[in-house]
Amino acid sequence: MQLGPVVMNKKAAKAGLTQSLFERMVLIGVRPVRLSVQYRMHPCLAEFPSNMFYEGSLSNGVTEEDRMPSVSGGNGGQQFPWPEPRKPMFFYSIQGVEEISASGTSYLNRTEASYVEKCCTHLLRQGVSPGAIGVITPYEGQRKYVTDYMKRSGVLSSSLYEMIEVASVDAFQGREKDFILVTCVRASETSGIGFLSDPRRLNVALTRARLGLMVIGNPRVLSKNILWRALLLHFKENECLVEGPLNNLQPRWVTGVRAKLRPLRSTER
């Protein structure tokens, strides 16, 4: 349920080299053994991936207390404004606009980039090390724009923002950060959500954070996809689907986010 090899050569891809050795072994009858205890994430961050991708089979080798952010803040002791204090996660509803990047082959979303900077700045002001923050985006255009925007427009020293890793989902596979921000980028009512529709890519993105997870995107557009609709419902049921200023987050109500959560069938993975 994680990403396979990245194959840039079309002939190699056509020859089947996008399929991993692991997948080949499963297909010829080698029985895989699942590691069912996770030691990375705060339990609330593990709940959705476990239920959606692993039939609810993941158990937690760490407790909430083990993974509660311990930063006290340099701004009067204010903690990060999680909507639910014991659930360090939220989906931040942003009505941005997707654009074709300068390369002509990727996308960016300026509004989402500005909210990434706001969230990163808040974490930095709390005393979180920039090396403990990661920003994930499926688009190279957004990666470059976010990197440049934070250095140019961030209110703190540009050297702090330079140490925050901004990378693709693929680059983060197998790795972790204390805090992960996911900027979804896609916001068009008509052009679909591209890379975001890949369940494996979503699984990897959601499971990189140890202490806190922030997903920034347009819920109305994303909810047209069954997988993202389930994720939005999960955030909504946990009272973590929000909008508004970071210091005054309010619940966000989204039309259509009512479908009951169900695990993906094997044919959908």
7 and 96 both lie in a single domain: no
128 and 196 both lie in a single domain: yes
173 and 88 both lie in a single domain: yes
pTM: 0.89
**What gap in Å lies between CA 175 and CA 168, rounded to an integer?**
12
Section 208-213 average pLDDT = 97
193 and 112 both lie in a single domain: yes
Reply yes or no on whether the pLDDT at 68 is more than 60: yes
Instruction: Tell me the CB-side half-sphere exposure of residue 221, using CA atoms within 13 A.
Output: 22
Of 21-35, 128-142, 224-238, 247-261, the least confident: 247-261
Reply yes or no on whether the pLDDT at 66 is more than 80: yes
* Confidence (pLDDT) at 34: 87
- 243 pLDDT band, cuts 50/70/90, is very high
pLDDT per residue as tens digits for the range 162-199 = 999 999 998 998 999 999 999 999 999 988 999 899 99
For residue 59, is it within any domain?
no
**What gap in Å lies between CA 79 and CA 249, rounded to an integer?**
14
Reply yes or no on whether the pLDDT at 75 is more than 70: no
Q: How far is CA 201 from CA 17, 106, 133, 136, 228, in A?
A: 18, 17, 19, 11, 12
Of 86, 96, 202, the closest CA to residue 149 belongs to 96
123 and 232 both lie in a single domain: yes
85 and 184 both lie in a single domain: yes
For residue 7, is it within any domain?
yes
140 and 194 both lie in a single domain: yes
Residue with tokens 């961050």: 45
- 255 pLDDT band, cuts 50/70/90, is low
Averaging pLDDT over each range in 1-15, 212-226, 255-269, which range is the top one?
A: 212-226
Reply yes or no on whether the pLDDT at 217 is more than 60: yes
Section 127-136 average pLDDT = 97
- 262 pLDDT band, cuts 50/70/90, is low
**CATH assignment at residue 243:** 3.40.50.300
28 and 136 both lie in a single domain: no
- 1 pLDDT band, cuts 50/70/90, is confident
For residue 198, is it within any domain?
yes
Bigger pLDDT: 25 or 4? Answer: 25
pLDDT per residue as tens digits for the range 142-151 = 999 999 999 9
* Confidence (pLDDT) at 76: 39
177 Cβ contact partners less than 8 Å away, ≥ 6 residues apart: 132, 133, 134, 165, 208, 209, 210
For residue 268, is it within any domain?
no
The dihedral built from the CA positions of residue 206, 208, 211 and 217, taken in this order, carries a sign that is: negative
The total of structural domains in the chain comes to 2
Reply yes or no on whether the pLDDT at 78 is more than 80: no
8 and 135 both lie in a single domain: no
In terms of residue numbers, what domain contains 234?
69-261
95 Cβ contact partners less than 8 Å away, ≥ 6 residues apart: 111, 187, 218
* Confidence (pLDDT) at 77: 41
* Confidence (pLDDT) at 6: 82
